[in-house]
Amino acid sequence: MTAELVLLNLAIAFAGVVQASAGLGFAMVANPLLALINITYLPGPMLFANLFLSMAILYREGASLDRKETSPLLAGLLIGTVIGGLILTQVAAEKLGLVFGMVILLAVAWSIFSPALPLTKRTILYGASAAGVSGIVAAMHAPPLVSLYQREDAAKVRATFAVVFVAGCTMALAGLWISGRFGMAQVFMGLSLLPGIALGFICGRFIAMRVTQQRARIGMLTISGLGGLALVVKSL
């Protein structure tokens, strides 16, 4: 294993620890680190590796998933992904990043200072649709759903967001394949990151055992806030 590949896997392991313990944050941590080491690992290989991590988390936390919420989540993600793709064909992506970053920051502020939104099929559908849009526009699916799940049990949060990431990564990879930006070369690059995925998943599991509901909420809001801020700064 080359020195570069070691660094790439360490970066992926760190991102994996964050996601396996808090339930989200993989892309926000992995994207800038991989871009500094070797930008060709973005976005396809990173998404492919995250797909394995998300499936592992879903397998581990599946018992905590509320099955009734899965249908509106998946439907919303599909709707949002299509809408986001259409938006990107009409508006400059950098402008969307600025707008969406500001919306995320406002949502985080609202989540801190106001009661959590009720979890209904309608609010989940709307939140997942927004997640689908942000996944295409900003490569981050989680922030729009934080205000809905910030006060839920930590294990349920990890399971729910794992469903979002499995579906979101699959849709994104399908889009990249259709556009000719994801093929066997990217598959092998993604497979080379699996040692880091395994290390992050194992280490994150021990941290997850110590994550309380309050700590999970703080972690979710912090990660979402930093993600929104990063979008705003990047787009200025």
Q: Assess whether the previous peptide bond of 32 is cis (omega < 30° from 0).
A: no
Of the two residues 223 and 182, the one the predictor is more confident about is: 182
Whether residue 54 contacts residue 60, with contact meaning beta carbons closer than 8 Å, is answered with no
Mean pLDDT of 178-182: 83
Concatenating the DSSP letter of every residue in 177-220 gives HHTT--SHHHHHHHHTTHHHHHHHHHHHHHHHTT--HHHHHHHH
- The DSSP output letter for 69 is G
* pTM as predicted: 0.81
Residue 5 has pLDDT above 90, yes or no: yes
153-177 pLDDT, tens digit per residue, is 888 989 999 999 999 889 888 888 8
Of the two residues 210 and 40, the one the predictor is more confident about is: 40
92-134 pLDDT, tens digit per residue, is 655 666 766 776 677 677 667 766 678 899 999 999 998 888 7
75 Cβ neighbours under 8 A, 6+ residues apart? 125, 128
High-pLDDT (> 90) share of the chain, %: 37
